[in-house]
Amino acid sequence: MKKIIPALLLGTLVSLQGNAVVDKNFDYHVDRFADIEVLRYEVPEFDRLSLQQKKMLYYLTEAAQAGRDIIWDQNGRHNLQLRRLLEAIYTGYTGDRQSKDFKAFEKYLKQVWFGNGIHHHYSNDKFVPEFSEEFFSAQVGALPAEQLPLAAGQTKEEMMAVLLPVIFDPSVMAKKVNQDGTQDVVATSAGNLYEGVTQAEVEAYYNALKDPSDATPISYGLNSKVVKENGKVKEEHYHLNGLYGDAIAKIIYWLGMAKEVAENDAQKAYITKLIDYYITGDLKLFDEYSILWAEDTKSDVDFVNGFIESYNDPLGMTGSWESYVNFKNSKSSARTETISNNAQWFEDNSPVDPRFRKPHVKGVSAKVITAAMLAGDAFPSTAIGINLPNTNWIRAAHGSKSVTLENITEAYDMASHGNGFNEEFVIDEPTRKLMEEYLYITDMLHTDLHECLGHASGQLMPGVDQDALKENGAALEEARADLFALYYLADPKLLELGILDNPDAYKAEYYKYMLNGLMTQLNRIEPGKDVEEAHMRNRQLVAAYVLDKGKKDKVVELVKKNGKTFVKINDYKKMRAILGELLAEVQRIKSEGDYEAGNKLIQKYAVKVDPKLHKEVLDRYSTLDIPPYRGFINPRYTPVYDESGEIIDVKLGYGENYVEQMLRLSRDYNTLAK
C-alpha cells in the first residue's frame, strides 16, 4: 500500500530546479506500442561511486534480474511457457516482418513483455491479440520440435489446447486481479497466487492461523501460494527448497557476493538476514531483516529485493516479487531530510482530531535516490516513490524508509517536453506559466510529503483491526497520504524551512491534482468502465469531494470554453480548507475502522465516471498522441576484469532498445526454465 505511481505525465512543465543534473542530449524515447511508451532513464553520478560501491551495485543488479521469472509466474501460471513460445516464434520468423499479422504479433509480444504476462499491468485486463489463431498455429507448427517450450511429459497438442484459449478466448483468465466484492475474488482472479481454492476457504485458513492478541504478527501469506492437496488447504512457500527455488538460488548467490562488499556492518547484517529468509522462507526472519533494513540510513548503495507489495493479490496478502537497486542522491536528500526532521511538527499541526495523531512520530527516514535498476513487479512500469517496510507494527515501532526516485521522475518530465498536453487541458496562460515554473518541484514535494509524512502519520484506536476498511483500505490509505501532502504543500512552514520560495507555488500542484482527478486520468479508463485501481480511486475521491463541497462557494468549477471542459479554481485557500476537512474525516475512518463511512465516501465520489466527460477527455487526448502508460528499460552494467579475474571497474551503458533488452533478459535470466 505504500508506493506512489506517477499521476499524470504533464507536458511542457520542465524547468528543472535546484540540483538536477541532466544531459540535454540524452535520448529518453525507446519504443511506442498500444497504450504504452517505453523510456530509458539516466543514472547521473554513477561515476562518483567507489569501485567497491560499483561492485556492490553490479551484484545487486544481478540479484534483481535473477528474479524476473518469478513475477511472470506469479502473474499467471501459463505466462512463462507462453513467453518462451512467443519469443521462439518472434526470433525464428522467416516471413515478411512488415505483414499485418506479424506486426500485430509483435505488438502483442511487446504488451506481454510490458505486463510480465498476459494481463495489462494497470487495468489487469487480458491483452487482446490482433492476429488470427490460424496465423499463430501456423507459426507454432513451423517451429522445430526442440524450440517448443513443452512442460514435462506434455505434447505439442496438449500445450496448444491450454495456450490457445489463454491467448484468444476473452472469457478465459479475463482479469489478473478481480476486486469486485460481489464475486469470489480468489476464484475469479487469473493470477497464480491461489489454485483450486475459494475465497471463503482461504479466509478460513488464515483466520485459523492468526492470533489477534499477537502484537508483532508475521505477514501471513506474504511468500506463499495457497493450494488444495487431498482436500486440505495449504500454503506452498517461496524459498530455496520450495516454490521458485531455482530463481531464489541465483538471488541468494548474488546477494552473497554483494554482502562481501557491503558498505558497513549494519548493511552486511541485513543482507545476511535476507539470505537466511530466502533459504528458509521464515517470515520472522523477513521481519528481522525489515527492521535492520529500515534502521540502516547510513549506506549509500541500497536495495529492495523480495516479495513486497500485495496489489496483485485480491486479498492483499501475497507479495509480488520485485527489486529496486539504487544509491543516494545526497544533494536532493537535504530536502527530504528537512521534512522528516520536522515530522513531529507536521503531525502536531495537522487538521486531524488530536486523538488520531501520533504522539511520537517514529523515525520517518527519507531520502532521494538515483535508481540504478528496476526489476520484477517494478519493471518496466515503476513507482516514483517507495515507503517500506509495509508491516504496520514494524512501521510503528521501528519506523520506515521513504525514498523518492528522482532520476525516474526527471525522465518522465524530460520525455514529456512539448507534447501539447498543457495547451489542451490547462485553462489559461497564467496557470500554465505557474505550472511550468513550479510543478516539477511541487510534484516532487508532493511525493516526499506523501511518503515521508502521509503514510507514517496518524494512529489506530486500540483494538481497531488494520484491515477493517477491507476492499477500500488501499484507496483510503492513498487518499490519507495524498491529503496530508496536499494540505501541507500550501503551508507557510515550507517557506520557513526554505523548501519553497514562493507562497503561490502550491497552486501548480493543486491545479494539476484537480485536473487529473476530475478529468485527465479518465484517459486510462475504457469507455463504459468504472474507476477501479486504488490510486486512481483515491485521486478521484479527493478531487470530486473538493468539487462537491466547494460548490456553493464556487471554490472549484468545471467550465466550458469553446465547447471544451476546463477545471477552474477560484479560491485556492478555501480548497485547502476542504482538503483539511477530508483529511480529518479519512483519518477518523482509518483510526476507528469505520468501514461504512469509508465505503460511502468511495461509492459516492471515487468509482463512477460521467460518460460524457469521459468521452470528451478521450477525444481530446486522442488528438495529442500521448501514451497513457509509460515504463522503462534499464541501463546495462558490465564489469571489467583484470587478468586474475578481479573486477577493476563497472561500465554503465544505455545502448539497448526494448526488444533487445527483453530478449536478452529472457536468455540470460531464464531462471525457472523447466
CA distances from 126 to 7, 144, 165, 316, 415 (A): 23, 29, 12, 20, 28
Q: Please compute, for residue 533, the number of CA atoms within 13 A of its CA located in the half-sphere on the CB side.
A: 21
Of the pair 82, 475, the CB lying nearest Zn ion is at 475
- Among positions 120-179, residues that touch Zn ion (CB under 5 A) are none
Q: Cα–Cα distance between 352 and 581 in angstroms, integer? A: 8
Q: Cα–Cα distance between 459 and 358 in angstroms, integer? A: 6
356, 587 Cβ separation under 8 angstroms: yes
Of the pair 189, 457, the CB lying nearest Zn ion is at 457
| Number of other residues whose CB lies within 10 A of the CB of residue 353 | 14
- Determine the interface stretch with Zn ion among 26-34, 62-70, 481-489, 564-572 (rule: CB under 5 A): 481-489
Helices (H), 342-420: 343-348, 392-398, 406-415
Provide the minimum distance between the beta carbon of 349 and Zn ion in the complex, in angstroms, as a whole number: 21
Provide the minimum distance between the beta carbon of 475 and Zn ion in the complex, in angstroms, as a whole number: 11
Provide the minimum distance between the beta carbon of 474 and Zn ion in the complex, in angstroms, as a whole number: 9
Provide the minimum distance between the beta carbon of 584 and Zn ion in the complex, in angstroms, as a whole number: 19
Of the pair 37, 406, the CB lying nearest Zn ion is at 406
Of the pair 391, 661, the CB lying nearest Zn ion is at 391
519, 567 Cβ separation under 8 angstroms: yes
Provide the minimum distance between the beta carbon of 410 and Zn ion in the complex, in angstroms, as a whole number: 20
Q: Where are the beta strands (DSSP E) in 210-334?
A: 224-229, 232-237, 301-309, 320-328
Q: Mention every residue, 6+ apart, whose C-beta is less than 8 A from residue 333.
A: 366, 367, 368
C-alpha cell at 65: 534480474
Q: Cα–Cα distance between 297 and 86 in angstroms, integer? A: 44
Report helix, strand or coil for 609: coil
- Among positions 634-673, residues that touch Zn ion (CB under 5 A) are none
Q: Build a one-symbol-per-residue string for 41-80: x at contacts with Zn ion by CB under 5 A, - elsewhere.
A: ----------------------------------------
Q: Whose CB is nearest to Zn ion? A: 481
C-alpha cell at 602: 468511495
Helix (H) or strand (E) run with residue 629 in it = strand 629-633
Provide the minimum distance between the beta carbon of 481 and Zn ion in the complex, in angstroms, as a whole number: 5
Q: Is 437 exposed, middle or buried (0-12, 13-18, 19+ CB in 10 A)?
A: middle
Of the pair 411, 479, the CB lying nearest Zn ion is at 479
Q: Build a one-symbol-per-residue string for 438-477: x at contacts with Zn ion by CB under 5 A, - elsewhere.
A: ----------------------------------------
Q: Say whether residue 534 binds Zn ion (CB under 5 A).
A: no
Bridge partner residues of 371 (DSSP):
326
Provide the minimum distance between the beta carbon of 390 and Zn ion in the complex, in angstroms, as a whole number: 11
Helix (H) or strand (E) run with residue 632 in it = strand 629-633
Q: Cα–Cα distance between 453 and 445 in angstroms, integer? A: 11
Of the pair 358, 574, the CB lying nearest Zn ion is at 358
Provide the minimum distance between the beta carbon of 489 and Zn ion in the complex, in angstroms, as a whole number: 15
Provide the minimum distance between the beta carbon of 243 and Zn ion in the complex, in angstroms, as a whole number: 29
Residues in the interface with Zn ion (CB under 5 A) total: 2
Of the pair 374, 481, the CB lying nearest Zn ion is at 481
Among 159, 173, 439, 481, binds Zn ion (CB under 5 A): 481
Of the pair 480, 524, the CB lying nearest Zn ion is at 480
Of the pair 301, 383, the CB lying nearest Zn ion is at 383
Q: Provide φ and ψ at 566, rounded to 5°.
A: -135, 150
Of the pair 1, 441, the CB lying nearest Zn ion is at 1
Binding site for Zn ion (CB under 5 A): 478, 481
